[in-house]
Amino acid sequence: MFRTFSLFLFFSLSLAANASPVDHWLDKMDQATKSQNYQGTLVIRQDDKLQAIKVKQGVTAGENWQTLESQTGEDQIIFRKNGSVTTIFPGKKLITVSSAKTGAEDKGPLHPALPENRDKLKQLYLLELGNEERVANKITQIMHMIPRDKHRYGYTFWLDKQSGLLLKCDLLNNKGRVLEQLMYSDIELLTSAPANRLDDSKLAEFKKVMLSKSTDVKSKSWYAEKMPAGFVLTRSIKTNQQQPAYHMVFSDGMASVSVFIETAKEKQKTLVGQSRMGPVNAYSSFVNDTFVTAIGEVPASTVRMIATSMQPVQ
């Protein structure tokens, strides 16, 4: 469930004298994402399901850290710092540790990281400012990010006028329907880092598991014959297992699609085809004896195009 909440870091860009109002707000959001101390309650809505998370972000000794603590469902605490993600399961007395980048682009509680190349971003999305609205008892500036084709979803951001912090985000399909909504129901902006409630002495009793190691692959082993405009390979990972598997990530700077490639022991027809969970679409297919799955918060046609066009490098 925390896949959607993982930390996004925005690239730092200086504001030019002739920058547009949209760029001004992007820069303001960038700065708040990296340096604003705060704590609040994040509510996530997918279809008829609601989840609540207590979020804290602090900057200590120049380092940004974040904790996300579930308030509904299974008790979980996620702590992110220095490129490491620690997930704590108090009920199971279990801790897992992994890299912040497990293949997908880094994510924060509300939004994907905007690419440094904003000219490319504006070729793929139309960025417009909207009205002002109140969110979590704060006045916000609305920003619309409208896709220019059918291969990606759109976004609407609500930015705190005082700090630039993103307080609400809607993920929209091409008909304008909200697929996922993430919003702070309450938030407190702080002048110093909030207290971190993690007790290292108690955690010492928990079982600690390092998640499966992987290595970046510099040379391409697989490629996509067809790819939506703007999507490029951003990472290729080979898992260190007896039967090596590959995890490739394609992104347009906002949306990303993960492609998992593994040798199939036997073809199970029930696994082939389209599937969906909330805003996430997936498509699985076979390429000879290899099982390929593409998954991401993009339209169904996009994951199908990518999955069915994957080919090994000859």
Total count of residues recorded for the chain: 314
pTM of the model: 0.83
Q: What is the pLDDT of residues 15-29, one digit of tens each?
A: 333 458 999 999 898
User: When comparing pLDDT for 87 and 84, which is higher?
Assistant: 87
User: For residue 274, what are the β-bridge partners?
Assistant: 283
**Domain match, 228 and 204 both:** no
pLDDT band at 67; cut points 50, 70, 90: very high
> Above 70 in pLDDT, residue 242?
no
Which of helix, strand or coil describes residue 229?
A: coil
Do both 165 and 267 map to the same domain?
A: no
Q: State the average pLDDT over residues 187-208.
A: 84
Apex 254 CA angle, 47 and 302, nearest 5: 65
Nearest to 290 by CA among 231, 215, 219, 222: 222
Domains held by the chain: number? 2
**What is the CA 253 to chain-centroid distance, rounded?**
11
Domain interval for residue 198: 2-209
| Residue 269 sits in the same domain as residue 178 | no
Which pLDDT score is estimated for 296?
Answer: 95
Mean pLDDT of 247-262: 91
pLDDT in tens, 151-166: 999 999 999 999 999 9
Out of 157, 192, 209, a domain closes at 209
Last residue of a domain, one of 180, 209, 238: 209
> Residue 8: how many CB atoms within 10 A of its CB?
17
